[in-house]
Amino acid sequence: MRGWICAETIEPVTLHGIIGRVVRPLIVVGGILPAVVLVIRLLTGTLGADPAEDLEHSTGLTALILLLSSLAMTPLKRLTGLTALVRLRKPLGLWAFAYAVLHLSCYLVFDQSLLWGEIGRDIVKRPYITVGFAAFLILLTLAITSPAAMIRKLGGQRWQRLHRLAYVAAVLAVLHFLWLVKLDITEPAIAGMVLIGLLALRIERPGTGKAERDEVV
């Protein structure tokens, strides 16, 4: 009995310890790195001929990749059995939000020169801007409600339902990407297929939903 308890307690602690001590700091470094690279390239003039466009596109793409990575953690946990992976969803999601903020800022400043009337019209009139902005609002909501205190305040189930909106944000972000390209849809198509795969993995096993919720909360 004693041995069993030891195994049960030590093993997860070790894994969580690895995630906590190694992977989470790695995510901090990995999260800052794309921004640092962009700033260095900007300062050294090694962005492309149109640096504003490069900044806008890179931050948007980074946000999307991080969002999809965050959503990939639960399926990955299922495939690998590493429950600790679930703990990476939040930091990855928050980094996705940070890059979404940078991406939106690029649009507001570089594309619109902070002309708020124009921005309002653009959001209403242009589908790819509308869905992009909607995705941002979802990420904003999720970021605000991400602290543990907010989970307690909202209640686990409500919080869980709210945070499923991350999938909606990802769908909108992929649409946003797909709608803005002129001809070559390779990149948005890849993102779309990854997202469809992730959604399929979640829908495939509806029976595990309850267990999932309990374990996450």
Residue nearer to other proteins on the CB measure, 111 or 212: 111
User: Which residue in 188, 205, 187, 181 sits closest to 78, CA to CA?
Assistant: 205
Length of the chain: 217
Binding positions for other proteins, rule: CB under 8 A: 48-53, 109-113, 118, 122, 126-128, 179-180, 182-184
- State the minimum distance, in angstroms, from the CB of residue 63 to other proteins: 20
Residue nearer to other proteins on the CB measure, 123 or 216: 123
The burial of 40, by beta-carbon neighbours within 10 Å (0-12 exposed, 13-18 middle, 19 or more buried), is given as: exposed
Chain centroid offset of residue 162 CA: 15
Q: What tokens does 151 get?
A: 């989970």
Residue nearer to other proteins on the CB measure, 28 or 181: 181
The number of helices, as runs of H, and strands, as runs of E, in the chain is: 11, 0
Residue nearer to other proteins on the CB measure, 50 or 214: 50
